[in-house]
Amino acid sequence: MVYTALLRGINVGGNNKVDMKILKKSFELAGMKNVVTYINSGNIIFTTSGHSKHDIAQILEEAILNTFGLQIKVLVLSLEDMKKVMSSLPESWTNDDKMRSDILFLWEDINDESVLDKLRFKPEIETVKYAPGAILWAIDKINVTKGSMTKLIGTKLYQQMTIRNVNTTRKIYELMLAAENNS
């Protein structure tokens, strides 16, 4: 099966530095196949079989700890999980000079539509939607500093998610589809 591992909090602000070539090798040594990394923010596409997503996350977290000495949370999504997110993502959403669109991928503990009740957002300037496995967020660039999602940083809820912009999310999905076609 095709999966992506989304690593939380690596290579941000000079902290938790992880070299992607070494990370790829550590995933391979942990038994993952067809490993591809995408940009330095911790996006890894791979194939494996015989393990649950929970088990894969544990295997990879241990591999990262052994290789880099870092305790990094890993969120594992199957291609089916990603298809659910992508089917809810409006085509018109962009991440450019006019709009900012982010996907907040959720750990299992908070992966429920009721997570929206825990967010304080401003519907007049930002769009927030739940999709199975994620919260989709978009705002006009001119309003980003007025938006409420930036206030999420540092909260307990924030610790249970990892965020990718819409462009990165679409590329990860594209790489997952390519991995499926090559397997």
pLDDT in tens, 160-181: 999 999 999 999 999 999 999 9
Which pLDDT tens digit goes with each residue over 87-121?
999 999 999 999 999 999 999 999 999 999 988 88
The DSSP 8-state label assigned to residue 169 in this structure reads H
Question: What distance lies between CA 47 and its chain's CA centroid?
Answer: 17
**What is the per-residue burial (b if ≥16 Cβ within 10 Å, else e) of 84-123?**
ebbeebeeebbbeeebbbbbbbbeeebbeeebeeebebee
Q: What pTM was computed for the model?
A: 0.94
**In this model, does residue 149 exceed pLDDT 90?**
no
Q: Predicted confidence band at 41 (pLDDT cuts at 50, 70, 90)?
A: confident
